[in-house]
Amino acid sequence: MLIRIVKMTFIPEYIPAFQAIFHRSERKIRYFPGCMHLELWQEAAQPDVFCTYSHWTGDAALQNYRQSDLFRDTWSQTKVLFAEKPLTFSFLRITSQSAQD
């Protein structure tokens, strides 16, 4: 499993526009082949900073999404709202959680 985190800093007055874009797209992203989980987080101390947190079956699934019309459309609307360049992180889960954790 691949875990993807994208940190995005928005121009404050564009936050409602971003939230509308995300809410229009989130269901489609969640049901995109290979997407196992999707969340949107907002930084508590810096409300202009958001992160998407997603689980993918693997890098191939993430890359298929990134090459899709859904991604291109969503990203083209989102990137014009940024105050800073976004940061992306991809992690591989190497341990599983147990009921004792």
CATH level 3 topology of 2-92: Alpha-Beta Plaits (3.30.70)
Structure tokens at 19: 């939230």
8 Å CB contact between 7 and 87: yes
Q: What is the pTM of this model?
A: 0.90
Spell out the per-residue pLDDT of the chain, length 101, in tens: 999 999 999 999 999 999 999 999 999 999 999 999 999 999 999 999 999 999 999 999 999 999 999 999 999 999 999 999 999 999 998 877 655 55
8 Å CB contact between 96 and 23: no
Residue type, 67: Q
**Which helix (DSSP H) or strand (DSSP E) does residue 19 occupy?**
helix 15-30
pLDDT of residue 46: 98
Domain ranges for the chain, please list them: 2-92
Which residues does residue 18 pair with via DSSP β-bridges, in sequence order? none
H helix intervals, 31-101:
59-66, 69-79
